């Protein structure tokens, strides 16, 4: 169908523009000199203007109409139809945002990110507050453009995870809270505590860098089509054959870069393993950011924090680190890796308490958008919830509400998706065990390939052919629920902590 081909050309061009934008952002975070920020803001704003122009071109609307009215429409393949559906969905989203507004948002994102960086450095929320306030106003306006009849926060939640809303999240998160708080309590109160000093030995950055590359390769992240750099806040950016990850090295806590390397590799591998024939089409994408996050956490937690993995990796790790860990035994070491310990910083949180960090952010975002709290009150509310959920005393904003870059970068309604990934994974596991009963034994021998292939076939190779909730059902045959995650967590940690 001629219109379909034309549509795909437009799609390809807008994808390339996004890739360009992605590179400019990567450079900004990783390589750009400090004072280049205003110029870069202009470039990003221009790209976002061009992308907006491209993706809102009324031509797209016309093609979509013609294609769907065409008598040959039914003859299109499944992939083609899905492409049309996704383009229609994105076109509806994009055409509701005026170009000038999109540019304003991007520009303000750059400015707010800069002031967030300053604020975080100086642990002073007041430096960031005004820009955050403006950002929230802009985001509300944005949500309103998408759907003036719907609750703005519901709009954002659905935007990042198709099919989700406050109603869904409230249910899942209540389920999670109820299941997790007792587990966390049991872990904290268990007499069988890990010795965390085992993993907190100083490891020089040079060695950590070697290890990061080693494990990235081990989990099948392709360095021929990627690279690993340092950034304040680890992230992954790129497309198919050029997908870059970043980590941050802390000499006195190697686990930060270690698990970031696994996590970002998980993201990177996802991008690197969409089918080549999907390239530049809408189906060359994940069903959602949560599914993406799930793949990252699969590599980080399910593989990287397992007994089986360390059974294989510890000897190699000892070799790479020289004498630093030579006296360490497997069980104590793995327990230390899986320590459940309430902490202040989300990205350093263990997989059990992590959900509480997300639930906290979800609740704050929800209340900001329903005007139950003000931007001024964020630090107070933040600190109170940290006390209530995790028993932590936040001493300054850098370790509190300034720790994440997301709000500066216009990501509201995005945090909740971070929790979903682990829930999705937990639901995949019974199926993986059914298909490959000895997958844990394979990890013991350092063989990640079978699992890698299973994830490729069941998840990554499907691109965005299915929406997340359908994908769950497609892979597992069951409806989505948080109960698998609770069960899985109880099983693993009761074993580690003896309760």
Should residue 52 be labelled a site residue for other proteins when binding is judged by CB under 8 A? no
Q: Check residue 77 for interaction with other proteins (CB under 8 A).
A: no
* Distance from C-alpha of 265 to C-alpha of 295, rounded to nearest angstrom: 9
Q: Does 36 bind other proteins (CB under 8 A)?
A: yes
Catalytic residue among 29, 80, 161, 264: 264
DSSP 188-227: HH-S----GGGT-S---HHHHHHHHHHHHHHTT--GGGEE
Show the site string, 125-164: x = touches other proteins by CB under 8 A, - = not: ----------------------------------------
| Residue 205 binds to other proteins (criterion: CB under 8 A) | no
Query: Cβ(494)–Cβ(181) under 8 Å?
Result: no
Which 218-257 residues touch other proteins, going by CB under 8 A?
222-227, 229, 238-242, 244
Contact flags string 435-464 toward other proteins, x per CB under 8 A: ------------------------------
From the list 22-30, 209-217, 299-307, 357-365, the region that binds other proteins by CB under 8 A is 22-30
Measured in whole angstroms, the distance separating CA 69 from the mean position of its chain's CA atoms is 38
Q: Which stretch binds other proteins (CB under 8 A): 67-75, 217-225, 247-255, 459-467?
A: 217-225
Binding mask 165-204 for other proteins (x = CB under 8 A): ----------------------------------------
Smallest distance from other proteins to CB 134, Å: 23
Query: Residues 1, 8, 10, 23: which binds other proteins (CB under 8 A)?
Result: 23
Among 8, 50, 97, 429, binds other proteins (CB under 8 A): 50
**Min dist. Cβ of residue 275 to other proteins (A):** 16
Nearest CB to other proteins, comparing residues 36 and 315: 36
Beta-ladder partners of 243? 226, 238
Q: Which is nearer to other proteins, 42 or 449 (CB)?
A: 42
Q: Is 470 helix (H, G, I), strand (E, B) or coil?
A: helix
What span, in angstroms and rounded, lies between the C-alpha atoms of 302 and 109?
34
If the CB atoms of residues 48 and 476 are measured against other proteins, the closer one turns out to be: 48
Instruction: Find residue 245's DSSP bridge partners.
Output: 228, 236
Smallest gap from residue 219 Cβ to other proteins (A):
17
Buried b (16+ CB within 10 A) or exposed e, 35-52: eeeeebbebbbebbebbb
- Decide the pairing of beta strands 236-239 and 242-247: antiparallel
Residue 19 lies near other proteins (rule: CB under 8 A): yes
> Could you say which of 1, 3, 8, 40 contacts other proteins (CB under 8 A)?
40
Is 104 a binding residue for other proteins by CB under 8 A? The answer is no
One residue of 2, 38, 374, 478 binding other proteins per CB under 8 A: 38
Q: Is position 311 annotated as part of the catalytic site?
A: no
In degrees and rounded to multiples of 5, residue 206 shows phi and psi of: -55, -45
C-alpha torsion sign, points 84, 89, 92, 96: negative
CA distances (Å), origin 52, targets 18, 44, 280, 361, 373 = 10, 12, 17, 30, 33
Residue with tokens 């009849």: 149
Closest CA to 228 of 448, 460, 30: 30
Q: Exactly one of 47, 64, 94, 381 binds other proteins (CB under 8 A); which one?
A: 47
Q: Work out whether 8 is an interface residue with other proteins (CB under 8 A).
A: no
Site membership for other proteins, residue 213 (CB under 8 A): no
Q: What is the strand order of the sheet 236-239 is part of? A: 226-230, 242-247, 236-239
In the complex with other proteins, the residue whose CB is nearer, 265 or 321, is 265
Rounded CA separation 130/223 (Å): 41
Give residue 222's region: left, alpha or beta (phi > 0; psi -120 to 50): beta
**Which range in 36-44, 327-335, 349-357, 485-493 contacts other proteins by CB under 8 A?**
36-44
Pick one of 5, 33, 149, 326: the residue that binds other proteins (CB under 8 A). 33
| Tokens at 466, concatenated | 């299915």
Half-sphere exposure of 488 (CA within 13 A, CB side): 20
How far is residue 137's CA from residue 120's CA, in Å, rounded to a whole number?
A: 22
Q: Which residues are catalytically annotated?
A: 264
Residues that bind other proteins (CB under 8 A): 13, 16-17, 19-20, 23-24, 27, 31-36, 38-40, 42-43, 46-47, 50, 222-227, 229, 238-242, 244
């Amino acid at each position: 169908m001629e219109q379909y081909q034309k549509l795909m050309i437009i799609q390809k061009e807008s994808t390339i523009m996004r890739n360009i934008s992605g590179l400019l952002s990567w450079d900004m975070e990783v390589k750009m000199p400090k004072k280049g920020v205003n110029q870069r803001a202009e470039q990003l704003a221009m790209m976002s203007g061009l992308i907006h122009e491209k993706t809102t071109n009324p031509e797209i609307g016309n093609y979509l109409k013609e294609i769907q009215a065409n008598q040959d429409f039914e003859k299109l393949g499944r992939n083609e139809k899905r492409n049309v559906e996704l383009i229609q969905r994105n076109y509806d989203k994009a055409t509701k945002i005026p170009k000038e507004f999109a540019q304003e948002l991007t520009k303000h994102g750059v400015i707010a990110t800069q002031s967030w960086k300053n604020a975080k450095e100086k642990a002073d929320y007041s430096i960031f507050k005004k820009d955050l306030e403006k950002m929230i106003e802009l985001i509300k306006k944005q949500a309103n453009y998408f759907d003036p009849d719907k609750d703005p926060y519901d709009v954002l939640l659905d935007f990042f995870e198709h099919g989700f809303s406050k109603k869904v999240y409230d249910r899942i998160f209540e389920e999670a809270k109820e299941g997790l708080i007792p587990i966390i309590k049991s872990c904290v109160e268990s007499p069988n505590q890990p010795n965390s000093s085992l993993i907190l030995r100083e490891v020089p950055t040079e060695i950590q860098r070697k290890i990061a590359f080693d494990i990235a390769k081990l989990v099948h992240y392709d360095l021929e089509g990627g690279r690993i750099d340092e950034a304040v806040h680890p992230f992954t950016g790129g497309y198919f054959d050029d997908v870059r990850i970043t980590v941050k090295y802390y000499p006195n806590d190697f686990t930060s870069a270690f698990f970031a390397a696994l996590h970002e590799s998980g993201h990177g591998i996802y991008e690197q393993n969409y089918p080549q024939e999907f390239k530049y089409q809408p189906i060359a994408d994940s069903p959602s950011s949560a599914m993406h996050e799930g793949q990252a956490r699969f590599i980080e937690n399910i593989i990287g924090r397992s007994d089986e993995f360390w059974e294989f990796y510890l000897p190699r790790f000892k070799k790479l680190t020289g004498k630093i860990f030579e006296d360490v035994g497997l069980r104590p070491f793995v327990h230390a890796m899986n320590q459940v310990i309430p902490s202040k910083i989300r990205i350093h949180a263990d997989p059990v308490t992590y959900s509480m960090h997300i639930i906290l952010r979800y609740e704050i975002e929800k209340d900001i958008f329903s005007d139950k709290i003000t931007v001024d009150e964020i630090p107070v509310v933040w600190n109170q919830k940290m006390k209530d959920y995790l028993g932590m005393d936040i001493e300054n904003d850098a370790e509190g509400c300034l720790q994440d870059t997301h709000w500066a970068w216009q990501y509201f309604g995005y945090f909740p998706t971070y929790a979903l990934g682990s829930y999705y994974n937990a639901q995949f596991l019974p199926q993986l065990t059914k298909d490959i009963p000895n997958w844990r034994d394979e990890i013991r021998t350092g063989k990640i390939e079978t699992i890698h292939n299973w994830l490729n076939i069941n998840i990554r190779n499907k691109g965005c052919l299915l929406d997340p909730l359908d994908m769950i059902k497609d892979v597992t045959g069951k409806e989505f629920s948080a109960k698998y995650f609770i069960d899985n967590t109880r099983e693993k940690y009761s074993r580690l902590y003896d309760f």
